[in-house]
Amino acid sequence: MINFIILFLSVTAGGLVYFLLGKANATVLKLVLSFSGAYLFGITITHLMPEIFSTGNHRIGMFVLAGFIFQILLEFFSEGIEHGHIHVHKHHSNAFPFAMMLSLSVHSYFEGIPLADSAQQKSLMMGIIMHHVPVAFALMSMLGQSGISKKGCIAALVLFAAMAPFGAMTGVYLSNMMSSDWFQIMMAVVVGMFLHISTTILFESDNDHRFNIYKLLIILAGVGLSLMV
């Protein structure tokens, strides 16, 4: 439970930083996301995938594919904010983007489910924090620039920060009350989501060649860290 509280507070703090800085530096945000995406990709390949495929369930790949497609569907409504894409809708000033918030919350909830696996909890928690902190910052930036009130922004931030711990508690319930096969299926769906998120972040290009060099170094650092945990 302490780890889940730390996760909640870390993501909340990441979003509140926006109110101190007042704006988002797009280049820095992309680099931070690249590092988190590389780390997430690394732990997915080296930690999570070997674990779910070691069960011998020959259908597990279907659930990984289902998770990949499910994340594509979620991003249709979230407009890619999971990757740091900030779409300001000033023509809908003060209109809260409920579809985007629902999609982002579902995304965060499912990402928290694997935290019930104590063997992978430390590496997973690091990955989720590194991924969700810049996303929380991007969320606050998008809502603030769209004319949403400060109270509305903070309420959205608290909801987003709470969803991963809520997913983790659901994962604990599933692992304790249901068969291990069911929990592994849920893990496989999340692995598919992780694969889509991380590869989308990593494959996004920029016209600035110099930026791409920095991004490459950041990606190598993220992957390197994933091999150390």
Amino acid identity, residue 74? L
User: Is the pLDDT at 90 greater than 80, yes or no?
Assistant: no
Residue 200, judged by CB atoms within 10 A of its CB (0-12, 13-18, 19+), counts as middle
The three-state DSSP-derived secondary structure of 80-133 is CHHHCCCCCCHHHCCCCCHHHHHHHHHHHHHHHHHHHCCCCHHHHHHHHHHHHH
Given a contact cutoff of 8 angstroms between Cβ atoms, the answer to whether 125 and 229 are in contact is no
pLDDT of residue 91: 45
Q: Which of 3-7, 8-12, 182-186 has the lowest mean pLDDT?
A: 182-186
pLDDT of residue 109: 92
Give the C-alpha separation, 118 to 85, whole Å. Answer: 32
pLDDT of residue 83: 67
Give the C-alpha separation, 41 to 213, whole Å. Answer: 19
Average pLDDT of span 38-67: 89
pTM for the whole thing? 0.84
Q: Break the chain into its structural domains and give their ranges.
A: 2-228
